[in-house]
Amino acid sequence: MAKVQPLGDRVLLKPLEAQEKTKGGIILPDTAKEKPQEGEVAAVGKGKTTESGKIQALEVKVGDKVLYGKYSGTEIKIDGDDYLITREEDILAIIK
């Protein structure tokens, strides 16, 4: 992967692949797959600058698996791989 450093409170996510089949074993065609809303944090910015000028560190860190809003962020390609740059506030949860 190319070196990409998100700025401020932005996070670089690697979307996880959509499910190929349902729990019942039904194989889904590409047109029926939902846009993935799960991803892995690939890089994080330094944090959000508060009104007092201090940097507030992000809660997520590289390697975290997260849930994010369906239409969050900006999709980009890095070395042929798909990534998403979004603000930390668009991340809904960390998957433990």
Are the CB atoms for 14 and 40 separated by under 8 Å?
yes
In a domain, 22, yes or no: no
Q: Round to whole Å and give the CA distance between 70 and 40.
A: 15
pTM of the predicted structure, to 2 decimals: 0.78
**CATH number for position 69:** 2.30.33.40
In a domain, 80, yes or no: yes
Q: Round to whole Å and give the CA distance between 40 and 52.
A: 31
For the CA atoms of 38, 83, 59, 48, the dihedral, rounded to the nearest 10 degrees, stands at -140
User: What's the total number of domains in the chain?
Assistant: 1
Are the CB atoms for 68 and 92 separated by under 8 Å?
yes
* The token pair that represents 68 in the structure block: 């994010």
pLDDT greater than 70 at residue 21: no
For residue 59, give its domain range.
10-16+34-95
pLDDT greater than 90 at residue 16: no
pLDDT at 27: 67
**Interval 32-85: pLDDT, tens:** 555 658 999 999 999 998 899 999 999 999 999 999 988 889 999 998 899 999
pLDDT at 30: 58
